[in-house]
Amino acid sequence: MKKLALMHAAIAAALLSGAAGASAASTTTTFGVSATVSASCVIDSADALTFSAFIPGSGAQAATSAIKVRCTNNTAFNVGLDAGGGTGATVANRVMKNGSNTLNYSLYRDSGHQNVWGNTVGTDTLSGTGAGMASANTLTETVYGQIPDQPTAVPGAYADTVTVTVSF
């Protein structure tokens, strides 16, 4: 009987060692991982450009505002401004309205009021390169506005709306 028990124990040990060896086997493979980072830009804000009270005949008046833009890292972009909504307005001569009365103004890319800010990429837009989409990488572009002297301007509150476009 003792021999039979020893024989059963030996067979069980042999079976278990074979099973342990089978479970230790493995196989491997690989799979690819990919992603595409798309160029992207957002306009965080476009501040209103508000001139002080304009006094006709007292000379030109200037004011500034800011446009805040974020673009993906190394993304080239252009910021353009349209002519606004005033009848007959162009990017070189924008028009604010108060009823049927008008007040001319211009927007520039520089503080010297030499470079009109328009919406033709490569001609009169402001170009830049993105630094990343984190808030810390926001680029602030200054808009320089000027109302030329207009001695016959009619008193009143004048307004216009300009559209900002970021091309990338």
Residues 123-147 pLDDT 10s: 999 999 999 999 999 999 999 999 9
DSSP state letter for 74: T
Q: Which amino acid is at 21?
A: G
Domains and CATH numbers, the chain: 41-167 (2.60.40.1090)
Which has more pLDDT, 15 or 99?
A: 99
- Round to whole Å and give the CA distance between 61 and 83: 19
- What is the reported pLDDT for 79? 98
Look at residue 44 and tell me whether its pLDDT is greater than 70: yes
Nearest CA-CA partner of 75 in 101, 111, 39: 39
Burial class of residue 67 (count of CB atoms within 10 Å of its CB; 0-12, 13-18, 19+)? buried
Using DSSP, state whether 22 is helix, strand or coil. helix
Strand order in the sheet with 76-81: 126-129, 76-81, 164-167
Torsion from C-alpha of 127, 128, 129, 134, nearest 10 degrees: -130
Q: Which amino acid is at 92?
A: A
Q: Residues 81, 164: contact at Cβ < 8 Å?
A: yes
Task: With cut-offs at 50, 70 and 90, classify the pLDDT of residue 11.
Answer: low
Task: With cut-offs at 50, 70 and 90, classify the pLDDT of residue 7.
Answer: very low
- Round to whole Å and give the CA distance between 61 and 158: 14
Interval 72-99 mean pLDDT: 97
